[in-house]
Amino acid sequence: DVKVTQSSRYLVKRTGEKVFLECVQDMDHENMFWYRQDPGLGLRLIYFSYDVKMKEKGDIPEGYSVSREKKERFSLILESASTNQTSMYLCASSPYRPQGGNTEAFFGQGTRLTVV
Amino acid sequence: QQQVKQSPQSLIVQKGGISIINCAYENTAFDYFPWYQQFPGKGPALLIAIRPDVSEKKEGRFTISFNKSAKQFSLHIMDSQPGDSATYFCAASSEYNFNKFYFGSGTKLNVKP
């Protein structure tokens, strides 16, 4: 079974702190994603990586950065946490989709971050 | 701006009834449309998916209907069961954009016994 593991289920951080959310996948997937889940807004893409050291901004990258130094690990960094970044953060990975083929995003269980 | 619009936000259905969730998109480059199911405390998991070259895909009690000209697709859950109570997300991706998945806003389904 594909496993995507997020380092923490729950985190409480103070405003202004630098926060690291870690994600590891064990299936050698090329693509990795960070989403933020908020009620009524669904899953919004923060950042995406399609290869080691490669990253693309998603729809809401402001206030976040990412790091992918190894294929299996994708880190989300909140440079200076703010209360409006209180949310559920979901990491996902997927294999490269061949032309005309299908793919699937595998999700971790999420990290519920509260910024106080 | 949300790339995939989903409705309704919440849905209550009696056991044995049909649950219908609708999604719409604008980007004609999207070529893969999955639906994800999420139970409380869990990450979303793939339920069923469709490509735009077919108008319908059925897996057990779950069916996706796809209307390419209208840029709409929907999930039908036949004979809905209390165990189907979850949040459902539609999504879309394009092989021309690194296969990034764009998700709808989610529908919270409650199936009453």
Name B101's bridge partners: none
| pLDDT tens column, B58-91 | 999 999 999 999 999 999 999 999 999 999 999 9
Mean pLDDT across chain B, nearest whole number?
93
Predicted pLDDT at A97 = 76
Angle (CA) A50-A51-A56 rounded to 5° is 45
Among the partner-chain residues B45, B98, B103, the one whose CB lies closest to the CB of A43 is B103
A71 CB neighbour count, 10 Å cutoff: 16
Chain B interface disruption, residue of A6, A36, A103, most B CBs within 10 A: A103
Average pLDDT, chain A: 93
pLDDT-based confidence at A100, cuts 50/70/90?
Answer: low
Looking at the predicted structure, is the pLDDT value of residue B2 above 80? no
Residue B60: CB partners within 8 Å, gap ≥ 6? none
A92 to B43: CB separation less than 8 angstroms, yes or no: yes
| pLDDT at residue A2, as a whole number | 65
pLDDT at A12 over 70: yes
Which pLDDT score is estimated for B1?
A: 65
Contacts of A42 in chain B (CB under 8 A): 2, 6, 89, 103-106
Chain A residues near residue B93 by CB distance under 8 angstroms: 97, 103
Shortest Cα distance, chain A CAs vs residue B38, angstroms: 10
Q: Please write down the HEC assignment for all residues of A47-106.
A: EEEEECCEEEECCCCCCEEEEEEECCEEEEEECCCCHHHCEEEEEEEECCCCCCCCCCCE
A29: nearest Cα among A88, A81, A76, A94:
A94
Of A34, A32, A35, nearest to A54 by C-alpha is A32
Per-residue model confidence (pLDDT) at position B100: 83
Tell me how far apart the alpha carbons of residues A69 and A66 are, in angstroms, rounded to a whole number. Answer: 10
Q: Which residues of A touch B46 (CB under 8 A)?
A: 104-105
Identify the closest residue of chain A to B31 by CA–CA distance.
A100
CA distances from B78 to A77, A91, B14, B48, B104 (A): 42, 31, 11, 14, 21
